[in-house]
Every structure is written in structure tokens, then in C-alpha cells.
């Protein structure tokens, strides 16, 4: 029970007691209506708190379900990554190297990959 729910219930109790002690009918009705309103606020606060707790529990459950599942294959030795990297890659061109820029080599130099026909050069 939250602090505001406890406050609402305390106010409802005060209104109920005031209604019992009221000498006039209209005053008693006013206190009873006020007590019912305070009780409704307390009930609504409890419902909101319960819904929030359920939503948080569902969120945690979804995170647990979505967590990756590790198998024995995850612990297996990877392929020789250095050999694969060396075979598949050429010497990289540094983007900060002024000599690569002045020589025309770099990101837009496709001659080495595709030949002169695809590099944008014409004969």
C-alpha cells in the first residue's frame, strides 16, 4: 500500500466518522459522499500500483526469455581467425595518410578491385 493510498483511506475513515457524528441529514450525506470518493481514490491507487508491479514483472520476464541461450558450440574454439583475416584482407590504406590522398589511392580507387573498366577512367 502506497503512502497516497494510506492517506486516501485515512480521509475516508475521517469522513465516515464525521458522517456518524453529523446531526443534520445533508451534512451526513456530504460526509458519506466524500468518504466514498476518498475510498474510490484509494481503490484506484491500489489498482494502479498492482498494474505497475505486474507490468514490471512482465518486462523482467520478457528480458529473461529474450536473453541469449548459450550452447556447447559457443565454447568451441573459433576458426583460425588470423589466417582468415590475412587471406581476405589487403593492406589497408590510412585515411589520415597524406601520401595516399596525393597519390590518388584511397577509398575511391577501385582499379585494384575491379580493373580499369569500373574505376571511372576512360581510355
Over residues 30-49, the pLDDT tens digits come to: 999 999 999 999 999 999 99
Is residue 71 assigned to a domain? no
Is residue 110 assigned to a domain? no
Is residue 28 assigned to a domain? yes
Would the pTM count as exceeding 0.85?
Answer: no
Task: Give the number of domains in the chain.
Answer: 1
Is residue 118 assigned to a domain? no
pLDDT digits (tens, 9 = 90+) for 51-83: 999 999 999 888 887 777 666 655 555 555 555
Query: Domain span at residue 31?
Result: 3-66
Is residue 48 assigned to a domain? yes
Is residue 29 assigned to a domain? yes
Of the candidates 8, 14, 10, the residue with the CA atom closest to the CA atom of residue 45: 8
d(CA 84, CA 102): 31
Is residue 80 assigned to a domain? no
Of the candidates 101, 102, 122, the residue with the CA atom closest to the CA atom of residue 111: 122
d(CA 28, CA 19): 4
Amino acid at each position: 500500500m502506497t503512502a497516497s493510498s494510506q492517506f486516501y483511506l485515512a480521509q475516508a475513515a475521517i469522513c465516515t466518522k464525521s458522517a456518524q457524528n453529523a446531526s443534520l441529514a445533508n451534512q451526513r450525506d456530504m460526509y458519506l459522499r466524500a468518504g466514498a470518493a476518498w475510498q474510490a481514490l484509494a481503490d484506484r491507487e491500489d489498482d494502479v500500483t498492482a498494474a505497475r508491479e505486474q507490468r514490471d514483472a512482465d518486462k523482467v520476464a520478457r528480458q529473461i526469455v529474450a536473453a541469449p541461450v548459450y550452447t556447447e558450440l559457443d565454447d568451441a574454439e573459433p576458426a583460425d581467425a588470423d589466417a582468415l583475416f590475412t587471406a581476405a584482407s589487403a593492406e589497408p590504406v590510412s585515411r589520415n595518410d597524406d601520401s595516399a590522398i596525393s597519390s590518388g589511392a584511397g577509398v575511391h580507387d577501385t582499379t585494384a578491385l575491379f580493373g580499369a573498366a569500373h574505376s571511372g577512367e576512360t581510355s
